[in-house]
Amino acid sequence: MNERLPLTKYHQIYLVLREQLQEGRFAEGLPAEMLLAAQFGVGRVTVRRALEQLVEEGLISRVAGRGTFPTPPPTHAPAAAAKGQIRPTRLAGLMENIVSASLSNSVKVLDWRVVEASGQVAEQLQLPVGSKARKAVRRRSSREGPLSYITIWVPETLARGITRQDLASKPILQLLEEAGVELGRARQTISARQADAVVARELDVAIGTALLQVRRLVYDSQDRPVQWLEGLYRPDRYEYQMEVSSIGSVDARIAVKAAREA
């Protein structure tokens, strides 16, 4: 746990587990209290308090003799955007910057496989729940060390022919374009979240460290989703810059920070 954070240990665990639940990691049930205590390096009482808070918020349910399980989200049809409400945005400038920045650092492919689309992934990619999607997990590093931990899902039909070697050498948007996908617009949100045990290990930070979180849904020219991305970045090595003009145009770009001199 991160002793420097102004948060109790149980609250740090609660935040990490809440993020993992939102990502659909515990479809088969949460690990036992003993395993969670070992993972976070705390006592079972601390883990139990974090779980109790998740129960109070209706995010999990505990079944005696069976275990702890995520509470199914309420079913609802994704809201369709009315025609004319969304103004397609050209991706050329930002995408070129993303590709350029990606080529300047190294990549380790941690995962590349076919998965069944969970509720959130299926909703974002407009696929039936349980249908096939391709999931990629990659860690990018600059000369200063680990930079980002990025998870990407794309419809399985668009990813055929893309190999792990391809993912290690080219950004997936570039690979999709080479496969004939004509990119259209993107919707992106930027927030923050804490590093869980897996991400903390890959980015060489303490569990609970605050990270920059980017979620990006990319559409093709026919307004069909072609990529859902969740990226976690070390804020000491990565920044997002945006310039908005008085007439409403937006110039956005990313930048990898150089390490400060000692």
pLDDT band at residue 239 under the 50/70/90 scheme: confident
Query: Is residue 140 located within the same domain as residue 29?
Result: no
Query: Is residue 242 located within the same domain as residue 143?
Result: yes
Which domain CATH number covers 181? 3.40.1410.10
Query: Is residue 125 located within the same domain as residue 248?
Result: yes
Query: Is residue 143 located within the same domain as residue 37?
Result: no
Is residue 75 a part of any domain in this protein? Answer: no
| Whole-number Å distance between alpha carbons of 130 and 258 | 42
Phi and psi (nearest 5°) for 220? -90, -175
Query: Is residue 30 located within the same domain as residue 128?
Result: no
Is residue 241 a part of any domain in this protein? Answer: yes
Out of 14-28, 105-119, 143-157, 218-232, least confident range: 14-28
Is residue 139 a part of any domain in this protein? Answer: yes
Q: What is the 3-state secondary structure (H, E, C) of the chain?
A: CCCCCCCCHHHHHHHHHHHHHHCCCCCCCCCCHHHHHHHHCCCHHHHHHHHHHHHHCCCEEEECCCEEEECCCCCCCCCCCCCCCCCCCCCHHHHHHHHHHHHCCEEEEEEEEEEECCHHHHHHHCCCCCCEEEEEEEEEEECCEEEEEEEEEEEHHHHCCCCHHHHHHCCHHHHHHHCCCCEEEEEEEEEEEECCHHHHHHHCCCCCCEEEEEEEEEEECCCCEEEEEEEEECCCCEEEEEEECCCCCEEEEEEECCCCCC
Is residue 37 a part of any domain in this protein? Answer: yes
Domain carrying residue 250: 92-256
Query: Is residue 135 located within the same domain as residue 223?
Result: yes
pLDDT band at residue 161 under the 50/70/90 scheme: confident
Query: Is residue 143 located within the same domain as residue 230?
Result: yes
Q: Taking 60 as the threshold, does the pLDDT of residue 96 lie above it?
A: no
Residue ending a domain, choose from 17, 37, 70: 70
**Residues 118-142 pLDDT 10s:** 878 888 999 998 889 999 999 999 8
pLDDT band at residue 261 under the 50/70/90 scheme: very low
Is residue 1 a part of any domain in this protein? Answer: no
Query: Which among 109, 118, 136, 25 has a CA at the least distance from the CA of 70?
Result: 25
Query: Is residue 56 located within the same domain as residue 102?
Result: no
Out of 4-8, 92-96, 173-177, 240-244, least confident range: 92-96
Query: Is residue 53 located within the same domain as residue 178?
Result: no
Which domain CATH number covers 37? 1.10.10.10
First to last CA, the chain: 27
Whole-angstrom CA distances from 139 to 1, 110, 142, 161, 220 are 22, 7, 10, 21, 25
Query: Is residue 245 located within the same domain as residue 205?
Result: yes
Is residue 3 a part of any domain in this protein? Answer: no
Query: Is residue 108 located within the same domain as residue 208?
Result: yes
pLDDT of 111 reads: 92
Is residue 160 a part of any domain in this protein? Answer: yes
What's the number of domains the chain is made of?
2
Is residue 2 a part of any domain in this protein? Answer: no
Query: Is residue 187 located within the same domain as residue 115?
Result: yes
